Each structure stands twice: as structure tokens, then as C-alpha cells.
Amino acid sequence: DRPSSKALVSNRFIGRPCRITLLIINNRMFRNLARIGGAVPRAVKSYSSTKFVPAGVVTQVIGAVVDVQFDGNLPPILNALEVTVAPGSPRLVLEVAQHLGENTVRTISMEATEGLVRGQEVKDTGAPIMVPVGPGTLGRILNVIGEPVDEQGPIEGNVRAPIHRPAPLFTEQGKSQEILVTGIKVVDLLAPYAKGGKIGLFGGAGVGKTVVIMELINNIAMNHGGYSVFAGVGERTREGNDLYHEMIEGGVIKVDKATGKPIPGSKAALVYGQMNEPPGARARVALTGLAIAEYFRDQEGQDVLLFVDNIFRFTQAGSEVSALLGRIPSAVGYQPTLATDMGLLQERITSTGVGSITSVQAVYVPADDLTDPAPATTFAHLDATTVLSRQIAELGIYPAVDPLDSTSRMLDPRVIGEVHYQTARATQKLLQDYKGLQDIIAILGMDELSEDDKLTVARARKAQRFMSQPFHVAEVFTGRGGRFVQLEDTIKGFQEILSGKLDSLPESAFYMSGNIEEVKETAAKLAATA
């Protein structure tokens, strides 16, 4: 390397050009690191205006990938282009993915490309995809480009935001580790959620995943005043429709009963890019939901809950377009940019000094192979896992959270305190001991157990039933009013079960109850009627 001419002016530096060059490079690296807040390159921060760029023309259509040729300057990467397929038809949005030779850009289509032909005119918007954000999105269903798809008219408000933006700087991120109290006993005790953290929700069909999601949305709104954003990524349209109507029934979304029009008071916004959509939409719809959540965090200082169902489909969509973009596939046929794509999404989900985005992501594991690159890349970003178990659902215990499989990095005495930590670990040990005794009980019966083991089984069954809880959004099914249980009450309840203070109470008193005082009241009523 040649030293700088400025460095060579001073005689005392002559003869040491390598050191000077390193100093110059290090200074430049230091300035870059200070600017970007770390060694990880940030996403594109600003977009050059291209309003004077002449319109381009379509030169090639390969499924979801469209090539567009321009006469002059090319639009920057990630800019949105628009094309009218036919007079009177909705606009088709393309996103610039690559610059090719001969003044051509390769783009990803956000909608089906049927009817698109070579030679059609394409206009550059001069910006990335911009979507509506703010209170006007609450109670509404949007698609990937921010258009309402619920037939309830245009979105109110004129605030729009780009779906691509950099993650918060290290200096902007929240300094303290806090847990987000959900009001769900089993979650708060054994696998607490971090404010600004990322939680993986594992569960098959019919174990209550949707109900848990709705209760979390309801509890965050009621007790933290926060909003929720649900991003449906590559899942069934029927399930998206069911969720919308269940949210209306549960009071999460408010509509006028006579007209069906949304009214103020809704707590959630829905963004859908379901499995019938082209891969471009499925690869970007999570970013659309994130842009809406970021507005509530940054502009209104909210603690926002972001649901992504399903994060695997985000990766799958990227894999579908990767080959069409001409990239060489990596392991198992996934895109070579798998870790980068996931990182750009996940790093934006965090808490800042103003508010937080806590994300609950449903994770599909292909062929139950946890080493598959898609789920393995997701796991690297998760702070907690909540596993819904069919075996627990079969016992009639809802929420059917598996207390032994669910984990959280927040379960640390330095974060949650010694009392909470010891109570959680003692509860897990009790349930693990009970699990180990179940084979003996099944073969020989309870009578063959020692007195200590009988006591362990009795307390474990009470703890297991105490983990059940009536939900606000399930009042129509259970006939019981929902309960939001404070963390202190949850810890106190399990401490009393573990200490043996409640050994005299019947098991049935613990089922579908809120705090431990309610258990005692139920037990007293049962004793009075006996």
C-alpha cells in the first residue's frame, strides 16, 4: 500500500509507510464503525431521487421476476417501480433487486404477473415501497404494498413509511433488560418474554396457538396500552379470515355491528401475504408489518407486539425467487443470502429508549429437522421459545404450554431476581420428577409409590392444573371471565404449592383459576357444598 502524501510530508514518518497506511485505514474504519454503530453493515439509509429518470420498458418476464430496461440512469436497488398491466387494472409493483448490464434492472414482482408483456411501460416511484402507518391501520387488513383488502374503504391518515430501513443504532437501543408481563402464568413464571425480544411459538394444528396469540394481543392492549401487528406470511387464507373474525368476536378489533365498518378502539393491525400470493409478496410482507410496528414504537413510544405467522415462509419465499435472480443456491437449496435476509428483519425487532417491539414468531420446522438451515438460522435470533403440546391439550389444560420444553434466556436470577428464579426452577424440578414417575404409575399404580413420591405427584398435579387459566378471548367457550395474573401473584401461588401449604386443597380447585386467592375461594365453596 502507498502511504498518503500528507503522511510523507513529515520526515519522521518516512521509512514507515506501512504503519502510516494502517493508521489511516484504522482511522477510516473507526469513523465508519462510529457512524454505523457496529461492524455489521446497515441497510440502505437513503434513496436517491429518480424522478427525472425516463420510464423503462419490460424486456423479460420469468414468473415473479421481471427485467426492465431504462434509457438513462437506473433506479437504485430496493426502489419500487409501477406498471399498469391493463387500463383500469390495479397497479403492479416491482422492487429492484439487481442491476444487470445494458441499462437493465432485475425486479421482483409483488403480485401475479399474468397479463404482463414485453414492451410495457414501467415508471420509477423514486422511493422504496411506501405503506400507510399510524392509527388508521388499526382494525384493518392490508396487503404487502399497504392497500386495504378488507373492502372497508381507504386507510385514514396520510403518514407513509418505507418497508426498508436500518435497524436502530447500538446507542439508540434499550439499555436495560426487562421482562414483558403477559398475564399468562405459565409463560411469566417459566419462560418469560423479554421486552424487545423475539419469541418462537411452536405448535401444531388445534392446540390453541391462535387463542394464545389473541390473548397476548388483548393483554398487551389492556395492561400496557400497546398495539399489536399481525403479519400473515405464507399461511392459509382461511386461517387469516378466521383470525380476523375471532378478533372481532374477542373485542380486539372493533367494528360497527350494523355496517361492519371499523370504528375507533381496535388494538391490532393485520397484514397478509398468504400462500396463494407470489413469492415477492411473501418475502416482503413481514417487512410491511414491521414498518407499521416501528411507527408505533418510535413515534408513539408504545410497547408493540409483532406476530409473524410463519417465519419459515419468509425464508421459503426468498428461496423461490433466489434462483430466478440467478443466484447460486447454498445448503439444501436455500438462497446464499439466507442469514443476511433473516438478520435484516430480526435486527429491526428490538427495544429502544422510546419503546419496544416484542415479536412472537410461529416457527414451522420442515420434517421436524431442527438442523435445517431455515429454522436453524431463526433459532439464532430467538430469546425464548413457547412450545404448545398436544399431550397437555389432551388433559384439558389450556393454555397448553409445555413447561419443560419452553425456554427463555430471561430465566436468569440477575434479570428476574432470585425469588422468581428459584420458584421457576423448583416448579420445573417438581414437574420433571412427576414425569419420571408416570411410567411407574401406569404399570403398578399409585399404591406402589413411596409417601414422598405420592406427595410429589399430588403437588405436581396441582401445579399443572394451576398453570391453566381462563382467557378473556375465550370467555364464549369457557363461560368464565378472563384473568390477567400479575407476576407477584403467580410467584406467590407456585411458592405456596411447592411449600405444601395447599396440600389439603382438592386438585379441582386449582383448575382454570387466576391467582391463588381464587383457588382458596373455590376450595372453600367445594367444601361447603360437599
Domain ranges of the chain: 5-36, 56-128, 132-408, 416-529
Q: Taking Cα atoms as reference points, which of 211, 306, 233 lies closest to residue 268?
A: 306
Residues 6+ apart with CB under 8 A from 268: 138, 139, 217, 221, 227, 228, 229, 230, 247, 252, 253
Q: Helices H, strands E: what count in the chain?
A: 16, 18
pLDDT number for residue 309 = 87
* Structure confidence at residue 87 (pLDDT): 84
pTM: 0.80
Average pLDDT, the chain: 87
Question: Using the 8-state DSSP alphabet, how is residue 77 labeled?
Answer: T
Task: Give the C-alpha separation, 272 to 289, whole Å.
Answer: 9
The series of mean pLDDT values per 10 residues for the chain, 530 residues long, is: 43 40 39 40 47 80 94 92 88 95 94 93 94 94 94 90 94 87 96 92 81 86 84 88 85 86 90 93 96 95 90 92 89 92 94 91 84 90 92 92 94 95 97 93 89 94 95 84 94 96 94 94 91
pLDDT of residue 448: 86
Contact, 95 vs 321, CB < 8 A? Answer: no
* pLDDT at residue 318 in the model: 92
Per-residue pLDDT at 196: 87
Q: Which residue of the set 28, 118, 236, 435 is catalytic?
A: 236
Amino acid of residue 166 = P
Helix/strand/coil for 264: coil
The class (CATH top level) of 416-529 is: mainly alpha
Note the CATH number of domain 56-128.
2.40.10.170
- pLDDT tens digits, one per residue of 202-213: 887 778 887 888
Residue 235 among the catalytic residues: yes
CA distance 437 to 316: 42
Query: Which cell numbers in the block locate residue 205?
Result: 394444528
- Under CATH, domain 132-408 is a member of which superfamily? P-loop containing nucleotide triphosphate hydrolases (3.40.50.300)
Residue 502: strand, helix, or coil = coil
From 209, 282, 459, 483, active-site residue: 209
Q: What is the 3-state secondary structure (H, E, C) of 125-138?
A: CCCCCEEECCHHHC
Please say whether the beta carbons of 506 and 523 come within 8 A: yes
Strands 268-273 and 80-84: unpaired
Active-site option among 111, 235, 246, 320: 235
Number of CB atoms found within 10 A of residue 300's CB: 15
SS3 174: coil
Residues 195/415, Cβ–Cβ less than 8 Å? no
- What is the rounded distance in angstroms from the CA atom of residue 64 to the CA atom of residue 281? 10
